[in-house]
């Protein structure tokens, strides 16, 4: 009986992943076909920068929580904004509990010197977290357009004009810019996360938009029409991904959302494994919570079958993590329980084997196109980085599956910020400023997965099954890579704390 159950789990998980990867491959193929030899689309018409007299009153919201390291760069960028001072209000929505408020106050004069109306908003508590701060800020200002930038973004002088120029109709509710990565080449973590974010924007956001499927606000570097937020129910804090939630509600009400691929805003991305884990937990759990809340909107949408499939996997894309975990678990347990020498198991391995190249394909295509735009086409580097990224994604399957379960069953948790140190700072410096513990339960379970995959690999080697050895080695590398990076970071933090204590 156990063998049938495990076979069934493996096959169902593989089917989910095949469809998911097939959707990504389909969108990546369209991306390839619509671009030229230089990786650029010839269909994009960039609107001219609007003059001062046509620009609307605008509220710019900067939600932040304990962001002491990024305040200087942020305020320097805000002071350089090119927008009529009498039409712009800048809200610093500061829920910080460290010394960030003092640093903010010390920098407010930079905005006042430019003639901008700048307001430092402090709340008595963090009720509603980021969504609560944004909602409270909207009560203090009635500007018809609202730009939102996280504190670790560095908006360019013309970004507000560029975003507003992209509103091409009264039903346009949001314009979302892409992200450029200030510290994208700092270390392995930033290199892989920048690749993952680039792939998300170029394949998923751009791909969905081109097909007419729903896209979503990425929480920052975007401009909303106030009416779209209000008529869609406003900012709500019952999920950890308030941006995704509002996006689905707005589109269900008929508002259009627009992603502009060639408009990018510089930002910092997580530079340590614990910060990546924190961010992944919030995004994955929040996506599951949002699906519970908004799946009905997606199912009620009238659209062609292909668009409905793409939308369905947009809402439920978090399911790829349980699928990856269950697939690797069942494939490893079957031979270890004595079911590895059957024709059925060999067939199963044959079915699973094409998943890796299929998983690599869409991200490799996107990477090649970006390399073309930059004039640095090296397929070997693109392939290596793509493979490393897939190892990390698969390695996070245990943690993210637990996050999915929490989200689906409605288990509440606080909004935990993603700590980002200043460029060039060590992991130890970050650890002394922001306490971010790794879950012992997750680490133990991931360690068990590493041990299981090692046993799986040894079993396959003993039985001289080449294809199974490669499968086992891949799974082993996935889980081992993530836990190794985490353990290295814990050691660095411990050493830094010990040195600080002796100083």
Query: Would you state the pLDDT for residue 1?
Result: 78
Query: Would you state the pLDDT for residue 466?
Result: 81
Residue-averaged pLDDT of the chain: 89
Phi, psi of 222 (to 5 degrees): -145, 165
Can you tell me the distance from the alpha carbon of 415 to that of 425, in angstroms, rounded to the nearest whole number? 25
Question: How confident is the model over 312-330, as a mean pLDDT?
Answer: 93
Question: How confident is the model over 38-57, as a mean pLDDT?
Answer: 82
| 410: region left, alpha or beta (phi > 0 left; psi from -120 to 50 alpha) | left
Using the 8-state DSSP alphabet, how is residue 171 labeled?
A: T
Instruction: Please choose, from the candidates 250, 362, 396, 247, the residue with its C-alpha nearest in 3D space to the C-alpha of residue 314.
Output: 247
Which one is predicted more confidently, 479 or 126? 479
Can you tell me the distance from the alpha carbon of 221 to that of 266, in angstroms, rounded to the nearest whole number? 9
Q: Report whether 419 contacts 299 (CB < 8 A).
A: no
| Marked catalytic residue, from 94, 150, 180, 243 | 243
Q: Report whether 275 contacts 418 (CB < 8 A).
A: yes
Question: How confident is the model over 302-315, as a mean pLDDT?
Answer: 87
Q: Report whether 94 contacts 104 (CB < 8 A).
A: yes
Token pair for residue 380? 């070997």
Instruction: Please choose, from the candidates 255, 80, 219, the residue with its C-alpha nearest in 3D space to the C-alpha of residue 160.
Output: 80
Instruction: Please choose, from the candidates 470, 476, 468, 405, the residue with its C-alpha nearest in 3D space to the C-alpha of residue 446.
Output: 476
Can you tell me the distance from the alpha carbon of 25 to that of 363, in angstroms, rounded to the nearest whole number? 8
Token pair for residue 105? 């106050």
- Residue 267 three-state SS: strand
Question: How confident is the model over 357-383, as a mean pLDDT?
Answer: 85
Query: Would you state the pLDDT for residue 416?
Result: 66
pLDDT in tens, 425-459: 544 455 445 555 667 889 999 999 999 999 999 99
Question: How confident is the model over 252-270, as a mean pLDDT?
Answer: 93
Query: Would you state the pLDDT for residue 500?
Result: 61
212 pLDDT above the threshold of 60: yes
Can you tell me the distance from the alpha carbon of 400 to that of 397, in angstroms, rounded to the nearest whole number? 5
Can you tell me the distance from the alpha carbon of 295 to that of 311, in angstroms, rounded to the nearest whole number? 10
> For the chain, how many helices (H) and strands (E)?
19, 7
Can you tell me the distance from the alpha carbon of 274 to that of 10, in angstroms, rounded to the nearest whole number? 30
Question: How confident is the model over 409-426, as a mean pLDDT?
Answer: 66
pLDDT in tens, 51-95: 999 999 999 999 999 888 899 999 999 999 999 999 999 999 999
Query: Would you state the pLDDT for residue 64?
Result: 93
Q: How many CB atoms lie within 10 A of CB 32?
A: 14
38 pLDDT above the threshold of 90: no
Give the containing element (helix H, strand E) for 224: strand 222-225
Query: Would you state the pLDDT for residue 201?
Result: 94
Phi, psi of 296 (to 5 degrees): -60, -35
The position carrying tokens 């001219």 is 48
Q: Report whether 352 contacts 17 (CB < 8 A).
A: no
**406-424: burial string, b at 16+ Cβ within 10 Å, e else:** bbbeeeeeebebbbbbeee
Can you tell me the distance from the alpha carbon of 354 to that of 349, in angstroms, rounded to the nearest whole number? 9
424 pLDDT above the threshold of 80: no
| 212: region left, alpha or beta (phi > 0 left; psi from -120 to 50 alpha) | left
298 pLDDT above the threshold of 70: yes
Query: Would you state the pLDDT for residue 60?
Result: 98
pLDDT in tens, 114-153: 999 999 999 988 899 999 999 999 999 999 999 999 999 9
Can you tell me the distance from the alpha carbon of 134 to that of 280, in angstroms, rounded to the nearest whole number? 22
The alpha helices in 396-465, defined as continuous H runs, are 397-409, 427-433, 440-462
296 pLDDT above the threshold of 90: no
pLDDT in tens, 144-197: 999 999 999 999 999 999 999 999 999 999 999 999 999 888 888 888 999 999
| Marked catalytic residue, from 95, 152, 245, 406 | 95
272 pLDDT above the threshold of 50: yes
- CA 385 to chain CA mean position, Å: 17
Query: Would you state the pLDDT for residue 381?
Result: 87
**262 counts as catalytic:** no
pLDDT category of residue 362 using cuts at 50, 70 and 90: very high
Q: Is this model's pTM higher than 0.75 or not? A: yes
**310-340: burial string, b at 16+ Cβ within 10 Å, e else:** bbbbbbbbbbbbbbbbbbbbbbbbbbeeebb
Query: Would you state the pLDDT for residue 414?
Result: 67
Highest mean pLDDT among 37-51, 412-426, 462-476: 462-476
**243 counts as catalytic:** yes
Q: Are strands 256-267 and 172-181 parallel, antiparallel or unpaired?
A: parallel
């Amino acid at each position: 009986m156990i063998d049938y159950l495990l076979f069934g789990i493996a096959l169902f998980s593989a089917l989910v992943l095949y469809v998911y990867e097939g959707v990504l491959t389909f969108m990546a193929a369209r991306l390839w076909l619509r671009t030229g030899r230089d990786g650029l689309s010839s269909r994009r018409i960039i609107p001219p920068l609007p003059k001062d007299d046509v620009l609307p009153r605008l509220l710019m919201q900067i939600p932040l929580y304990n962001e002491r390291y990024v305040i200087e760069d942020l305020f320097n960028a805000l002071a350089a904004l090119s927008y009529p001072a009498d039409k712009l209000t800048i809200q610093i929505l500061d829920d910080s509990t460290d010394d960030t408020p003092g640093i903010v106050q010390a920098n407010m004069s930079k905005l006042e010197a430019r003639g901008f109306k700048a307001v430092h908003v402090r709340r008595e508590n963090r009720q509603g977290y980021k969504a609560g701060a944004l909602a409270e800020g909207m009560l203090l200002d009635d500007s018809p357009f609202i730009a939102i930038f996280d504190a670790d973004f560095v908006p360019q002088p013309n970004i507000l004009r560029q975003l507003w120029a992209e509103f091409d109709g009264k039903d346009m509710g949001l314009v979302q810019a892409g992200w450029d990565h200030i510290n994208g080449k700092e270390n392995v973590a930033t290199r892989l996360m920048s690749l993952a974010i680039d792939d998300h924007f170029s394949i998923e956001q751009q791909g969905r938009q081109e097909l007419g499927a729903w896209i979503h606000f990425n929480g920052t570097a975007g401009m909303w029409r106030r009416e779209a937020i209000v008529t869609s129910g406003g900012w709500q804090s019952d999920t950890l991904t308030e941006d995704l939630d509002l996006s689905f509600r707005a589109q269900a009400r008929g508002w259009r959302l627009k992603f502009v691929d060639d408009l990018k805003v510089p930002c910092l991305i997580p530079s340590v494994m614990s910060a990546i884990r924190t961010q992944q937990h919030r995004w994955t759990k929040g996506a599951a919570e949002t699906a519970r809340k908004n799946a009905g909107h997606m199912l009620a949408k009238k659209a062609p079958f292909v668009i409905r499939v793409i939308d369905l996997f947009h809402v439920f894309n978090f399911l790829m993590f349980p699928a990856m975990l269950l697939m690797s678990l069942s494939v490893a347990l079957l031979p270890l329980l004595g079911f590895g020498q059957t024709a059925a198991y060999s067939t199963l391995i044959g079915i699973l084997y094409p998943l890796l190249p299929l998983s690599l394909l869409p991200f490799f295509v996107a990477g090649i196109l970006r390399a073309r735009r930059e004039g640095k086409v090296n397929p070997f580097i693109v392939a290596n980085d793509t493979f490393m990224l897939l190892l990390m994604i698969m390695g996070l399957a245990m943690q993210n599956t637990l996050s999915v379960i929490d989200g689906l069953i409605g288990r509440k948790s606080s909004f935990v910020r993603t700590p980002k140190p200043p460029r060039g700072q060590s992991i130890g410096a970050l650890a002394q400023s922001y306490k971010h513990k790794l879950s012992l339960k997750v680490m133990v379970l991931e360690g068990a997965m590493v041990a299981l995959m090692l046993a799986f690999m040894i079993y396959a080697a003993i039985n001289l099954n080449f294809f199974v050895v490669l499968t086992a080695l891949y799974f082993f590398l996935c889980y081992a890579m993530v836990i190794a990076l985490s353990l290295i970071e814990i050691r660095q933090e411990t050493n830094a704390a010990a040195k600080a204590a002796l100083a």
